[in-house]
Amino acid sequence: MEEQKIDKIEKLDYYATETAKNLAGWKYPELKIIKSSRNVFVGAGDADNTGRILAQNFGGVGFSVVDYKKFFENNPERDSNIYIVNASGAKDGVKMAQWLTENGWRPKLITSNPEPPAGKFLKPEDIFVFPAIMEPPTYNVSTYAAMLYGILKEDITGLADKLANLKAPDLRKYKFIFFLADDKYEIIGRMAERKIAETLDGIGADAGGYSNAAHGMLLQPNPDRLVFCLNCKYDGIGDAYKLDGDSYLGLLLCIHYIIGKNQTDLNSETILRNYFENAKKQGWKFNKIW
């Protein structure tokens, strides 16, 4: 694997802003996902959550790289509509494409890489390449945002202006962030939780939908906790910040923006250095980093 050089490491807020400006003008592949209980979306990390959002909107189920095999082993019928969501088209995407194809399924790949290594296991007509901005590894702001926009076609009118006027809270005041989400947007909370772990040192995070979180998750006082509310109210113990939005994409990019405003240069450098070290340990092979 060849380490790629990035001259300046911008933060998440930069990519959130640039993505919001470009989404409407990009060209998207003609991918038509039918509504069906036979849809299966598989992915790793942010891709896993993106697939679960697609399952919420088109039917079917979503699985991560850790549990998808068990599902297919227990459901051996070959009539599933399988979509591998994988921005780089590499790493775990290669493993999933190979395993599914060798075991008799015909998956489609939703990717940001025009030359995905996973493509060697797939038919060319089953590869759908979405636009993206070249980003440092783990960021995945434009990659999955473009997939959601191109597939869900959400109305994001005014989103760029909203980001430009968004006042980001000081997350560094806290040791723990809990993303409390309206049930519909619980997955966005999960994506935010993951992005905190990937991006900000010294801050823990968790997330839950409002209905689940009501079962005792926020009943203990914690002066070091911020409850970050996504389209819901919180009248419990401690500090809270409220963010409202009328789309998956709007909430997601606002969260990326806020985390980026709390990100340090050292955070960015650490992400890049440690990612390449981990990639070597994992034996990941890919043509491009997104």
How many residues are listed for the chain in this entry? 290
What pLDDT score was predicted for residue 116?
Answer: 95
Which residue spans within 234-279 are E strands per DSSP? 239-243
pTM, 2 dp: 0.91
Distances (CA, A) of 90 to 20, 106, 118: 26, 17, 6
Parse the chain into domains and list their residue ranges.
12-154, 159-267
What pLDDT score was predicted for residue 286?
Answer: 55
Report the C-alpha gap between 97 and 83 in whole angstroms.
10
Report the C-alpha gap between 26 and 7 in whole angstroms.
25
Ramachandran class of 5: left when φ > 0, alpha when ψ lies in -120 to 50, beta otherwise: beta
> Do 12-154 and 159-267 agree at the fold level?
yes
Q: Which fold has domain 12-154?
A: Rossmann fold (3.40.50)
What pLDDT score was predicted for residue 225?
Answer: 96
Name the nearest CA neighbour of 261 among 194, 175, 186, 163. 163
What pLDDT score was predicted for residue 285?
Answer: 62
What pLDDT score was predicted for residue 1?
Answer: 39
| Residue segments in the chain with a per-residue pLDDT below the cut of 70 | 1-7, 284-290
Ramachandran class of 91: left when φ > 0, alpha when ψ lies in -120 to 50, beta otherwise: left
What pLDDT score was predicted for residue 2?
Answer: 44
Q: What CATH number has the domain spanning 159-267?
A: 3.40.50.10490
Report the C-alpha gap between 259 and 256 in whole angstroms.
5
Name the nearest CA neighbour of 289 among 45, 47, 66, 115. 115
What pLDDT score was predicted for residue 6?
Answer: 53
What pLDDT score was predicted for residue 252?
Answer: 98
Distances (CA, A) of 136 to 12, 116, 188, 198: 10, 17, 21, 12
